[in-house]
Chain A
Amino acid sequence: MIPLSGFVSQLLEIILALAFAPLLTGWVNQCRAWLQNRSAPGLLQPYRALHKLFNKESVVAESASPIFRIAPYIVFGCMALVCAIAPTLSTDLPLAPAADTIALVGLFALARVFISLAAMDIGTSFGTLGARREMLIGFLAEPALLMVLFSASLITQSTSLANIVETLAHQPFAIYPSLAVAGVAFTFVALAENARVPVDNPATHLELTMIHEALILEYSGRHLALIEWAAALKLFAYSCIGLALFFPWGIAGAGTPLAMIVAIPVLLAKLAIGGVLLALIETINAKMRLFRVPEFLATAFLLAVIALLVHVLLGA
């Protein structure tokens, strides 16, 4: 049976992710506004936006098929599962054996396929354009992400994310060159997958350049709210996976309920710093042309493969 402590940490993690994911988005937006010398929206602005969207009625195109209406729920469900298996506070997660890193990548792909299909469903020019671009980024980012996770897997002899982090966190301090290279690749992938500058601009509605926004152009009301929330969860999950893989210290292990109390402020501090860095990256980079994106992601892919090779050749 699942021990109580595992159950508690699992529940705590999911609640934390659902509750704090919009806060992270708000924090990044605030930092970005400060860095760009604008007056910042409040930290709680994403919550207000979600509340507003949930209250509005949902306008659905007449030609929409049921795929359009179920896709937001599926995407939200996928991201909720991602947050459940990603070790944020503790590595003692009863749900972790259900999906390892390969399944995690599959989960991201599942969400991406459904949102792309939903975008193609209405049959508008921007929807299909967004779907094509999203799938383009996806097919380049997905193998890179898998390779990054594989380099960590080879070091720790496990593909279970919880076990990887457990091993990395509780061993004597060591710097792995392969993980350092993989970390750069992971950053590239995370920027692309979360529709951030320099790949996409989350604040744009300029038709020719948008990717993520083009996908969800037809959504409104509660459907849009779920998608926005899922996007926030994705950013949260990516940040937490990155932090757990490359800066795992402070995460609670199995059977240490007290460590959980320490883990929460540590995680929040790490996320706060990560948010500042993300805002910095977004501020000092310009959005690149769409045709440059494959080069950007191919670089990430190559770096990830190099990370694997470094591990295989140097054993580190």
Chain B
Amino acid sequence: MAHLDWILVLVGGWLGLGLLGILALRHTDFVARVLFPAGAAIALGLAAIALSALFDDPETAVLPLGLPNLPFHLRLDGLSAYFLLVIGAAGAGISVFAAGYFRQGEGTPPGLLCLEYHVFLASMALVVLADDAYAFMVMWETMALSSFFLVTANHRVPAIRQAGFLYLLVAHIGAIAILLCFGVLQANTGDYSFANMRAQSLSPLWASAAFLLATFGFGAKAGILPLHVWLPEAHPAAPSPVSALMSGVMLKTAIYGILRIGFDLLNAQLWWWGALLLALGLATALFGVVFSAVQTDMKRLLAYSSIENIGLLFVGIGLGVLFNAYGMHALSALALTAALYHVISHAFFKSLLFLGTGSVLHATGERSLGKLGGLMRRMPWVGWLVLIGVLASSGLPPLSGFVAEWLLLQSFLFTTELPNSFLNMLVPVVAAAIALVAALAGYAMVKFFGVIFLGQPREAKLAEAQDASLLERAGLIWLASGCVVLGLFPVPLIGAIDRVTQLLIGTGIASTVRNNGWLLLAPTTLERASYSPLIFLAVTCLAVLLAVLLVHRLYHGRVRFAPPWDCGYPAQTARMQDTAEGFGQPIRQIFEPFIRMRRELPSPFDEKPIYHVRIEDHLWHWLYLPIARTTERFARLVGRLQQGRIAIYLLYSFLTLLVLLLVVVAK
């Protein structure tokens, strides 16, 4: 059997698990102990097959589903295989964790949740396999709907229902744009297969229209400014494994869409597309990271951090388009490799962090950072594993986040070779902003980890928190080891990414990298730049070990445990620590113009002082509320037609007929 058949069997297996879930609607144990681990095994198998398919020739298949004479076309090429690998590899860890996570009595019955979850996974896998617009849109909508139901799993909470509807709305506005984009791409031939779209050569005007529609549509799914508002609402509202799946994996299908349309279906790029993606990505990244640093809800903080990472991905893709448009294919491959590396790295660390918040949520029942603290001692497993995710997310060497950041900055250093003096001038500014984003991400992540896991417990109940269960730990360990392995061994993965860039722009950086040796990552020449995470880690570890040994050999290693000193102040309480607000205060002050803040400060004479601060998004007030108000006014205007009496409606029908008759007569 070919790879594609195996993949279809596995995806069918997911759907089968979902149906079994329906049969065992309220048998939590069966669903959690059998179905979810089976789903994880399937995900792992999918990742393995995708990895082997990546190094093979493209395969196609036709599924006799859908409408008569309009079957689903599927195609497995390098790009789909790479994204399948991401879905499978991250999905495996998330499913194992979910097996330990879902419990009785949380809104939707576990069996139904199992169905929605596996349909969601299957639809994501099929989105990246689709080879015609029809199959793509059906899968895309299935993905949106199944994730909507997952987001609203806890539908008794009004805020969650609201978040779900906002998500559904933006998802559909985006889907319309994608549909229109396919309409432009088929160039009046009436054939909606991707093969036909590849064969068309559109005029620059129509190609730009298609590209803009795709950017809008996929940007809505990815959470690009100003279409990001649903993301910080919907991602935190979902149960944690679903948040992980949405932030870590689903956002990547939008990246897939941009790459598929921008590089594969459209056969030439214009430079200003790249500049547009670059600008959008930069604005999104800066916005996301600033807002992530001022959040007080741990899952919202991560959701904004996802917005930031999507922004960085767009920057990488934009740079790739820029280089490609000027015919600098090798550099374009470098930028795209950076983006694709970040795709898988972000899938691992963001899933890890979201799952970590799930464990914390189950152990404490708290999402607010202001009521957590000191969990490192109660939950060491979750604490240490999340620390790995935090370091990867901050882009620190030698973990996976740094490799992507390193490659991205390297490709920025080549922008001076672009034959456009405007871009030459702007691009250093962009590089500076990227560096700022990376540094701010570190700030947000130190806040995230420090406030949840370090310090004193801010509430008494935290002292009873239990560490994650074995299955949860297994999922976290899988994802954390992904962050470490991807960070330490970048060269093999770049070999895999090479297949994707070969497909998209006809060249890759893997041969250069391999020529420079497996130990060193050097994308161009050894003189120009190189980085070796293994040597990096080895030397740091060696220095640490030597320091430990020498200190303990030459001097005594005595330790005495005592109460904290704190400048001799005896009456320390847990409430004197920095809260999440306190830690975010410098950011609020520096980036004040970007943040809409409402604050109530107590006066010194208040009996019961209340401090209250609300961080809001300017765009919500400047863009979304006016649009919503206009829509509502328009709807009320239309509503006047509705009188509720049958005679009036009959009159409308009569008048319509009359007008139509007049039109016919006039002809």
Contacts and interface: CB of A to CB of B under 8 A. Distances in A.
Interface of A: 54-55, 57-63, 65, 67, 73-74, 76-78, 80-81, 84, 95, 97-100, 102-103, 106-107, 109-110, 112-113, 116-117, 120-129, 131-133, 135-136, 138-140, 142-143, 146-147, 150, 153-154, 157-160, 163, 207, 217-218, 221-222, 226, 291, 294, 301, 304-305, 308-309, 312-313
Contacts of A95: 535, 539
B556 A76 contact: no
B659 interface: no
29 contacts: A54-B551, A55-B556, A57-B560, A61-B565, A62-B564, A65-B377, A67-B454, A81-B540, A97-B520, A97-B522, A98-B520, A98-B530, A98-B531, A109-B439, A120-B454, A123-B373, A123-B454, A125-B577, A131-B583, A138-B442, A147-B428, A147-B431, A150-B428, A159-B529, A160-B530, A217-B565, A218-B564, A218-B565, A305-B429
Given A97-B532, A143-B436, A154-B416, A110 B396 contact: yes
Contacts of B380: 65
A143 B397 contact: no
Given A76-B547, A77-B540, 18 more contacts: A54-B551, A57-B558, A60-B562, A76-B543, A76-B544, A80-B540, A81-B540, A84-B539, A103-B536, A117-B449, A121-B454, A122-B564, A131-B583, A136-B586, A143-B436, A154-B416, A222-B551, A305-B429
B572 A150 contact: no
B567 A217 contact: yes
Interface of B: 373-374, 376-377, 380, 383, 387, 391, 394-397, 402, 405-406, 409-410, 413, 416, 424-425, 428-429, 431-432, 435-436, 438-440, 442-443, 445-447, 449-451, 454-456, 520, 522, 526-532, 535-536, 539-544, 547-548, 551, 554-567, 569, 572, 574, 576-578, 582-583, 585-586, 589-590
Nearest to A94: B535
B416 A301 contact: no
A207 B566 CA distance: 10
A58 B410 CA distance: 43
B555 A222 contact: yes
Given A109-B439, A123-B574, A146-B435, A102 B409 contact: yes
Given A102-B409, A153-B413, A158-B529, A80 B543 contact: yes
Nearest to A124: B566
A111 B531 CA distance: 18
A128 B396 contact: no
B589 A81 contact: no
Nearest to B539: A81
Contacts of A113: 391, 394, 396, 442, 445-446
B578 to A, nearest CB: 4
B567 A207 contact: yes
Contact of A125 (B383, B425, B431, B572): B572
Interface centre among A77, A126, A305, A309 (most CB of B within 10 A): A77
Contacts of A135: 442-443, 446-447
Contacts of A106: 395-397, 402, 406
B376 A99 contact: no
A59 B438 CA distance: 35
B566 A131 contact: no
A272 B425 CA distance: 39
A309 to B, nearest CB: 6
Nearest to A214: B567
A226 B535 CA distance: 23
Nearest to A226: B547
Nearest to A78: B540
Contacts of B582: 128, 132
Contacts of A147: 428, 431-432, 435
Contacts of A84: 539
A15 B298 CA distance: 45
A128 B561 contact: no
A97 B520 CA distance: 8
B589 A291 contact: yes
3 interchain residue pairs of minimum CB distance: A123-B455, A123-B456, A143-B435
Contacts of A61: 561-565
Given A106-B402, A207-B567, A217-B565, A305 B450 contact: no
Nearest to B406: A102
Contacts of A110: 391, 396-397
Contact of A126 (B373, B402, B566, B585): B566
B642 to A, nearest CB: 56
A231 B409 CA distance: 28
A123 B579 CA distance: 11
B576 A120 contact: no
Nearest to B376: A65
A98 B532 contact: yes
Nearest to B522: A97
